[in-house]
């Protein structure tokens, strides 16, 4: 065992400085497009037609962008005649209306420590990989007072990924009902926000907002760990939420 102890001690600390300082290492985020008002006319039409998931849209001759639908398919990246701006940051999480209301009456204990139950409601496992990395040394959410728990009975936050398949719906509701008050819900990724590429359909719902009240949404497919960390910080009022500008689509709250 001492071998592992020395091994652990000798490994340099890989933990990110976020949220104290922004993280800028390459490869931490796939980025999201930034809609700019400069795009017009045919270039705009072309861009919108490239987007197969309806994230880019034409709104009064300007480019609209719905971050809940974007799945980083990269088809709009570097393809349009006029370069679409691409944002490599990761602070994407937003509060819903309910989330904003709840944030005001947030109890102090939530800010110190928060227990999280993750639920896979039909995710492709990429989201889950990113969530499980949160507890790894690179992101080490424990230092910020966030912990995973196996039972919703002890959980403060439900982290739901996936479009909510028909088979998982009742189990998700059961878990939500089992949580003690006060409770919060984070919808992780495009699937949980809008159903992503899968829903709504005969097997999947259009995300979980129809089923349980959602406090924070994190766009991305999958949202990288730092975006998830941001979401948790936004939920506890320790970070500002993403600017609204990105969410020109309807606000799902």
Partner 1 sequence: MQDSLKEFISANFARIELQEHKNGQTILEAECQPGDLVEFCRCLFCDQHMYYAMLVVEESAEQWIIKHVFYAPSGEMLHVLVRLPLAQTILPSIATQVHAADWHEREAEDLFGLTFEGHPRLGDFVLHDHWPEGTNPMRSSFDASQSLPPGKQASDWQPIRLLESEGSFAMPIGPIYSDVSESALFVLETVGEDVLRTIPRLFYKHRGIEKLAEGQKAHDVLLLAERFSGTASFAHTLAFCRAMETIGQIQIPARAQSIRLFVAELERVRHHVSALAKLCASTALAVAASQASILEEQMLRLSCKLSGHRFLFGMNTIGGLSMDIPEELFRQVLQESQEVGGRLLRLRRKLTRTSSFLDRLQDVGVISQQDARAHAMLGPAARACGISMDLRQALPYGPYGDASSLHIPTEQEGDGYARMRIFFEEIQVSLQLMKDALETMPKGPVAAENADCGAGAALGWSEAPGGGTFHWVRTDEEGKVLRWRLGTPSFANWHGFHLAAEKFAFQDFPIILASMGLSVAESDR
Partner 2 sequence: MIVKEILIVFFALCAAGSVISLLTKKAHLVISIFGSLASVSLVATGILGLGLGKPLNWSQWSFPIFGQMHFHIDGITSILLLLTGVVALPVSIFSNGYLQRYLGKYSLRSFGVMYHLLLASIAAVFVTWDVMSFLVSWEAMSVLSYLCVNFEHRHEENTHAGLLMLVMGEVGTLAIAISMFILGSAGGGLDFESLRLGAQELGPGASWAVFLLSFFGFGVKAGIVPVNTWLPRAHPAAPANISALLSGVILNLGLYGIIRMNLDLAPVVSVNQGLVVVITGSITALVGILYATIDNDMKRMLAHSSIENIGIITAVFGAGLVFSASSDPTLAGLAFIAAFYHLINHSIYKALLFLGAGSVDARSGTRDMNRLGGLIKIMPWTSLMFLIGAMSIAALPPLNGFVSEWLALQTFLQSATLSSTSSTLVRVTFVLCGAALALTAALAVTCFVKAFAMSFLGKARSAQARSAKPAGGTTRLSMGILALTCIALGLLPTYVIPKLDESVNVPRQRHAVESLVPAFFRPQDANPIMDKAFVDEFHDLGAQVGKGLLPGRGLVVLHRGQARNPVVFAMSTSYTVIVLGLLLAMVFLLVHLFTRKRTQKTRAVWAGGLENLPPELTYTATGFSNPVRVVFNTVFRPQKTETRHQNVARHFRSAVSKQWEVVHLADRWVTGPIVHVLDKLAHLAASMHSGRINAYAAYMLMALVLVLLAGHLFT
Interaction residues for partner 2, span 130-159 (CB under 8 A): 151-153
77 in contact with partner 1 (CB under 8 A): yes
Q: Which is nearer to partner 2, 204 or 221 (CB)?
A: 204
Q: Which is nearer to partner 1, 55 or 95 (CB)?
A: 55
**Binds 238: which of partner 1, partner 2, none (CB < 5-8 Å by kind):** none
Interaction residues for partner 1, span 137-196 (CB under 8 A): 137-138, 148-150, 152, 162-163, 165-171, 175, 196
Interaction residues for partner 2, span 156-175 (CB under 8 A): 170-172, 174-175
201 in contact with partner 2 (CB under 8 A): no
Q: Give the whole-angstrom CA distance, residue 9 versus residue 19.
A: 24
Q: Which is nearer to partner 2, 174 or 210 (CB)?
A: 174
According to CB under 8 A, which one of 18, 28, 214, 233 is a site residue for partner 1? 28
**Binds 75: which of partner 2, partner 1, none (CB < 5-8 Å by kind):** partner 1
Which region, judged by CB under 8 A, interacts with partner 2, from 64-72, 76-84, 177-185, 241-249? 177-185
Three-state SS string over the chain comes to CHHHHHHHHHCCCCCCCCCCCCCCCCCCCCCEEECCCCCCHHHHHHHHHHCCCCCEEEECCEEEECCCCCCCCCCCCCCCCCCCEEECCCCCCEECHHHHHHHHCCCHHHHHCEEEEEEECCCCCHHHHHHHHHCCCCCCHHHHCEEECCCHHHCCEEEEECCCEHHHHHHHHHHHHHCCCCCEEEEEHHHHHHCCCCCCCCCECCCCCCCCCCCEEECCCCCCHHHHHHHHHHHCCCCCCCCHHHCCCCCCC
x/- string (CB under 8 A) for partner 1, residues 86-125?
-------------------------------xxxxxxxxx
146 within 8 A of 114, measured Cβ to Cβ: yes
Cβ at position 21, least distance to partner 1 in Å: 18
Binding site for partner 2 (CB under 8 A): 151-153, 170-172, 174-175, 177-178, 180-181
């Amino acid at each position: 065992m001492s071998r592992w102890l020395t091994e652990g001690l000798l490994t340099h600390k890989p933990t990110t400085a976020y949220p104290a300082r922004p993280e800028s290492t390459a490869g931490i985020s796939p980025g999201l497009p930034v809609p700019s008002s400069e795009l017009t006319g045919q270039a705009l039409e072309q861009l919108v037609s490239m987007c197969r998931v309806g994230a880019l849209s034409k709104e009064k001759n300007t480019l609209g962008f719905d971050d809940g639908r974007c799945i980083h398919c990269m088809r709009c990246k570097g393809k349009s005649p006029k370069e679409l701006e691409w944002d490599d940051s990761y602070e994407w999480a937003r509060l819903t209306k309910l989330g904003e209301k709840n944030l005001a009456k947030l109890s102090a204990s939530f800010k110190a420590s928060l227990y999280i139950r993750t639920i896979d409601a039909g995710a492709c496992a990429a989201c889950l990989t990113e969530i499980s990395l949160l507890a790894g040394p690179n992101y080490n959410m424990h230092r910020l007072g966030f912990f995973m728990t196996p039972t919703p009975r002890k959980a403060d936050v439900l982290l739901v990924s996936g479009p909510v398949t028909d088979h998982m719906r009742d189990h998700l509701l059961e878990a939500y009902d089992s949580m003690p008050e006060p409770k919060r819900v984070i919808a992780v990724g495009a699937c949980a926000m809008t159903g992503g590429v899968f829903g709504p359909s005969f097997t999947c719902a259009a995300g979980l907002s129809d089923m349980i009240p959602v406090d924070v949404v994190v766009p991305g497919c999958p949202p990288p760990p730092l975006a998830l960390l941001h979401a948790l910080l936004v939920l506890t009022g320790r970070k500002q939420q993403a600017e609204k500008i990105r969410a020109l689509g309807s606000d799902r709250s």
